[in-house]
Structure 1
Amino acid sequence: MSGSKDRLRLWLRLLKVVRGIEAEVRDRLRREFDTTLPRFDMLAALSRHPDGLKMSHLSGVLRVSNGNVTGLADRLTDEGLVKRVPVPGDRRAMILQITTAGQREFYRQAAAHEDWIDQMLGDVPAAEARAMAERLTAFAAGKEEKEAAHAQ
Structure 2
Amino acid sequence: MNTDPNPDPFEPESKERLRLWLRLLKTTRLVEAELRERLRLEFATTLPRFDVMAALHRHPKGLKMSELSRFLMVSNGNVTGIVDRLAEDGFALREQVPGDRRAARARLTQKGKEEFIRQAEAHEAWLDAMLAEIGPDIASDLSTALARISDKFED
Do these two structures clear the TM 0.5 threshold for a shared fold by scoring above it?
A: yes
Measured in 1, the distance between the counterparts of 2:144 and 2:13 equals 22
1:85-104 equivalences under 5 Å are: 85-104=95-114
Provide Cα deviations, 1:29-75, integer angstroms capped at 9, x if missing partner: 00000000000000000000001000011011111111111110110
Equivalent of residue 16 in structure 1, options 6, 13, 26:
26
Equivalent of 2:71 in 61, 66, 75? 61
Count of aligned positions: 145
- Structure number with greater Rg is 2
Q: Secondary structure at the match of 1:64?
A: coil
Normalising by structure 2, what TM-score?
0.90
Structure 1 unaligned blocks of 5 or more:
146-152
User: Does structure 1 residue 118 correspond to structure 2 residue 125?
Assistant: no
Moved over 3 A (4+): none
Mapped partners of 2:106, 2:46: distance in 1:
19
Larger proportion of helix? 1
| Aligned twin of 2:48 | 38
2: CA distance between counterparts of 1:61 and 1:143? Answer: 14
Please give the root-mean-square deviation of Cα atoms over the aligned residues, in Å.
1.0
Q: Which residue of 1 aligns with 2:17?
A: 7
Structure 2: state its 5+ residue gaps.
1-10
Tell me the TM-score normalized by structure 1: 0.92
Q: SS where residue 80 of structure 1 aligns?
A: coil
Partner Cα distance (1:57, 1:121) in 2:
31
1:141 to 135, 141, 151: 151
Structure 2 CA distance for aligned equivalents of residues 38 and 143 of structure 1: 23
